A = this chain, B = another copy of it.
Amino acid sequence: MDLGTIIGFLLINILLVFGMGFKVGPFIDVPSMAIVIGGTCGAVLMAYPLSDFMKLPYIVKKIIINSTQDVGALINMLLRFSEKARREGLLALESDIESIDDVFLKKGIQLVVDGTDPELVRNILESEVAFVEERHALGKGMMENFASLAPAYGMLGTLIGLILMLGNLADPSSLGPAMAVALITTMYGSFMANALFSPAAIKLATYNAKEILGKNIIIEGVISIQAGDNPKVLEEKLKSFLSPEERAKIGGKEEM
């Protein structure tokens, strides 16, 4: 779980409340919320098939609770499996399957132990990666649509407020407060876009890249283990996925 999302969101809210002079009251207006939050959700609901829209809680969870994989530990584990498979044969890995946390790696090793055809192993694992990517793309696209629709509904709400206000100027002293209320929807829309959905869309894109990297390392490793490659060669191959700093953490002293 990455604390950045929560710390960042709290920071924004604390600073905005501080900027409001701790007067939160004037910024709460139920009809304005109805227009902006409801309108935006309605538009996204229109834009996606129901079955896709229903994945929203899954997407939100992904944004908040997302632990990036420890790629160094992953590579060390793959190297250990590679050495064991070379010494004791592929079937010896069966006893390790239980101890693997990563569902994707577990599936890969299971396939290898089951003696599945290497081509089929790669196909199965790669098509799974393609689906993870597609699911992330759905989430990212939805967040981006939320981020572009929220300010639009904010502006729509302000237009509604202005039209009602201007059409009824009997009491000039009410002009200011009415205008304030009209502007609240624009503020809601801007807040939703810039403090929720845009950061969420960027985060999903970043997480996606990291998760796909991890899964590609696993595929390379599993295929290499099945082929009986020299663990030394596998190490060089997998280290090419790492930044220089991360490489130092990999077991086995380097030669160069």
Q: Is the CB of B11 within 8 A of A42?
A: yes
Residues of A24-53 whose CB lies within 8 A of B: 26-27, 31-32, 34-35, 38-39, 41-53
Give me 29 A-to-B residue pairs in the complex whose CB atoms sit less than 8 angstroms apart, sorted by A's number: A4-B46, A4-B48, A7-B45, A8-B41, A8-B42, A10-B42, A12-B39, A12-B46, A15-B38, A18-B31, A19-B32, A19-B35, A19-B160, A21-B31, A23-B164, A26-B164, A26-B167, A43-B195, A43-B198, A46-B200, A47-B203, A48-B202, A49-B203, A124-B236, A131-B244, A152-B198, A156-B187, A162-B180, A162-B183
Number of copies of this protein chain within its complex: 5
* A19 touching B31 in the complex, CB below 8 Å, given contacts A186-B159, A187-B156: yes
Is A193 located at the chain interface by the 8 A CB criterion?
yes
Q: Is the CB of B194 within 8 A of A49?
A: no
Give bound CA distance, A43 to B149, whole Å. Answer: 18
Count of A interface residues, CB-CB < 8 Å: 98
CB contacts (< 8 Å) of A244 on chain B: these are 128, 131
